[in-house]
Amino acid sequence: MSKTKFLSPGALPQWLSELAAKATVYAPRREGRAVVYRPHIEGEAPELALRPTESAKHVLFPRAEALFSFTKQGEAEKSGRRLEVQEPAEPGPAVIFGALSCDARGFLSFDPVYEGSGTDGEARDPYYLKRREKTALVVRACKRPLSTCFCHWVSGGPASGQGADVLATEIEGGFFLQAFTERGDALLDAPSLAEATAEQRAEADKAHCAADKAMGEIPDLGPAQESLLDLFDSAEFWRDRSAHCLSCGACTYLCPTCYCFNITDESSGLAGVRLRSWDNCMSPQFTLEASGHNPRPGKSARLRNRVGHKFSYYPKIHGGRFSCCGCGRCIKSCPSSVDIRKIVLDAIKEVGHV
C-alpha cells in the first residue's frame, strides 16, 4: 500500500492503455469551453492543464441509471397479469484518471450516506457501492489554487491523498506516483512505470509543501454548524444571501459531494424502466408535495437548505465532517456568482454579533 513509481510524460499513453486493458478509464477531456470526464480514447492525451469543470461523481453516481426494467405480461382484465423484472448489467471495473484531490474527497461524503450509516445498513445502496468497490482513483496534486478554491478550509489540501488510490505529483521531467491502497498498488504494477527514486519522492514532498503554502489562511468554521441552525428562521438573512441566486442546479450538479437523486418510471406501453436520476435541492420539485404544497416555496429556503445541509445538518449526523470538499466549482461555475464561503462566514459573523 505504499508503492511509489515514476511516470515520464512519454510513457503516459502506454500507462493509460495498460489501465484501459483492465478497466474503463475516465479521463478529463476538453470539450468546447468545458473540461469533462469521459471514457478515455486510445491515443488521446488527457486534459491536465486546466482543472475539470465538472466533478467525477457521475462515474460512481450516473446522471441517470436504470435500476431495473420491467414488462407487464398478459391481459389486464385477467388476474394472471405478471410483471417481469430485469436487472441491469453489473458495472465493470473503472479508473478515474487525473481527478483532483477534492474530487476524491467528495466520495468520502458520499460513502456514509450510501453505506446506510445510522440505519444499521438497512439503507445500503448496492448500485453506488458496487461501482465504488470497482473504481480506482488516480488523483493529481494541484500546484496553485484558483481564487475559488478552499479545500484547506474543510480539512483537505491541494495534494491530499485522502480518498485516492494513487496520487500523481508533477515533478521535474514527469510525475511521481504514490499508491495509498492495494488497488493503487495494482495500478502501479505496470510495465510503463519506472521505479521512483528517493530524490523524486523528496521533490514531490517539496511540491506538496509549496502547494499547501499557497492556499492562504483558514478561517474557523467551528461555529458554522450551530450558526446556520440559529439562522434557520432568519428570513432576512436568507433573502439577502439568495437575492441573486437563480435557483438552478449548476452548483449541485457540479458538486463532488451532492448526492441527492430522484426515482421515476419511464414507460411506454407495457414496458418501462425505473430510473434513478440526479436531483437537486435548488429545484422547486425537490420538495413539492402531492397536495401542491411546497415547504420550500422559494429560492431563499432552497439555498438555505443547500448551505445548511453541507455545513450543519450533514456534519451533525456524520461526525462533524462537512459535506463540502472545497473544490469551489459551485462558485466558479455559478452564473450569478453565489459564493458559499461568504454565506457560511456571514452566518458565523451574524450569530456572533447577536
Site for another protein, rule CB under 8 A:
31-34, 36, 49-51, 53-54, 62-66, 69, 71, 86, 88, 144, 146-149, 240, 243-244, 246-250, 252-254, 262, 264, 266-269, 271-273, 275, 277-278, 280, 283-285, 294, 328, 331-333, 335-339, 341-342
Measured from the CB atom, the residue of 197 and 336 that comes closer to another protein is: 336
What is the nearest approach in angstroms of another protein to the Cβ of residue 205? 22
Cell of 107: 466520495
DSSP 33: T
Integer Cα distance of 295 and 242 in angstroms: 17
Integer Cα distance of 153 and 159 in angstroms: 14
DSSP-based three-state secondary structure for 7: strand
DSSP 135: E
Q: What are phi and psi of 127, to 5 degrees?
A: -65, -50
Measured from the CB atom, the residue of 144 and 206 that comes closer to another protein is: 144
Cell 441491469 belongs to 88
Tell me if 87 sits within 8 A of 69, measured CB to CB: no
- Torsion-angle region of 173 (φ positive above 0: left; ψ -120 to 50: alpha; else: beta): left
Tell me if 19 sits within 8 A of 97, measured CB to CB: yes
What is the nearest approach in angstroms of another protein to the Cβ of residue 344? 13
Measured from the CB atom, the residue of 191 and 353 that comes closer to another protein is: 353
Measured from the CB atom, the residue of 8 and 337 that comes closer to another protein is: 337
Measured from the CB atom, the residue of 149 and 159 that comes closer to another protein is: 149
